[in-house]
Structure 1
């Protein structure tokens, strides 16, 4: 019983943080879903961005819990710098994965094309005119008029000029 009295403030703060975590996740989910609904984004793309948001919120809550339970700031700094160094070295080798995920989130929130649009990618070496079949975390799946499937990295879509063309392919219904 003395253990509960000794850590009353930390337990109360942890409870409040737990409630705040639930609230932030619900609010973030509703905001992303509202944004996706106004832009007519497919459900699985919306769920992917929601997962990214939840991961970010969870990391912030873990950091807050570490601070609440009295880990010294100096110790947190040392641990985070060590972890960041290891992760940084690992991600440097895999920078394209991180850039594709970031580009996928940017495509979700800011680009004017969506699944079903026919686009032309202005690439000097490999020009592409195709319909967007799917936009994933790492790649965009394009289908040419010949039926060829092209998997195009998200980060290249941010680097290349793109034209949105009039619908030239057969219409079909898109279902999640």
Structure 2
């Protein structure tokens, strides 16, 4: 009990900063999730995509709060130099190896906020090598699933979808029942 009391007295400002950081985190997360849900409802976006984008942005917010906590607790980075350099070396290799995955996730978040097409719309992807015309079945974090007229299922990466022109041919050609039978 005495050790706890001395710990609280010694680190009073750090504990107060930690409490404030967590309060700010909870407030910002509440606003972020509420805003994403509002955008999802207003834009008639699939609820699964809304939840997924909320998770991605919550993860980014957690990372920022952890960095803030390192500064609040005055972590001596000189002592952590070897650990951090090893960690960032491994992270750099991992990020370099999976840049495609990260670009697809980022494109998925951009498509959530901007993509003007919905599930059930017929689109044409303007790719000179592989032009495709299909109905949007599902929009996921990494890719978009399309169904061509001959029944072929096409999975198109989100990052390529942002790089190519996309033309809306017809809105909502497929009903919810039509889309469910493809899964």
TM-score normalised to the size of structure 2? 0.86
1:136, CA displacement in angstroms?
A: 0.6
Provide the rounded CA distance (Å) in 2 between the counterparts of 1:39 and 1:75.
Answer: 49
1:27 and 2:31 matched: yes
Matched residue SS, 2:69: helix
Shift of 1:70: 1.5
Give the deviation of 1:18 after TM superposition: 1.3
Q: Contact 1:36–1:46 at 8 Å: present in 2 too?
A: yes
Match of 1:97 in 2: 101
CA RMSD of aligned residues (A): 2.1
Instruction: Name the structure 1 match of 2:46.
Output: 42
Asked if structure 1 preserves the Cα contact closer than 8 Å seen for 2:125 and 2:166, the reply is yes
Instruction: Indicate the SS of the match to 1:116.
Output: coil
CA positional deviation for 1:34: 0.9
1:11 to 11, 15, 20: 15
Q: Give the secondary structure class of the aligned counterpart of 1:88.
A: helix
Q: C-alpha deviations, 1:56-105, integer Å up to 9, x for none?
A: 11001111111111113555777655533321221212211111111111
Note closer, same or farther for the CA distance 1:113–1:17 as it changes in structure 2 (3 Å cut): same
Aligned twin of 2:167: 163
Gapped regions of structure 1 (runs ≥ 5): none
1:66-145 equivalences in 2 (<5 Å): 66-72=70-76, 74=78, 82-145=86-149
Q: By how many angstroms is 1:162 displaced?
A: 1.1
Does structure 1 conserve the Cα–Cα contact (< 8 Å) formed by 2:120 and 2:174? no
Label 1:163 to 1:67 Cα distance change in 2 as closer, same or farther (>3 A).
Answer: same
Q: State the partner residue of 1:65.
A: 69
The 1:109/1:137 distance shift into structure 2, 3 A limit, reads same
Counterpart CA distance in 1 for 2:109 and 2:81 is: 29
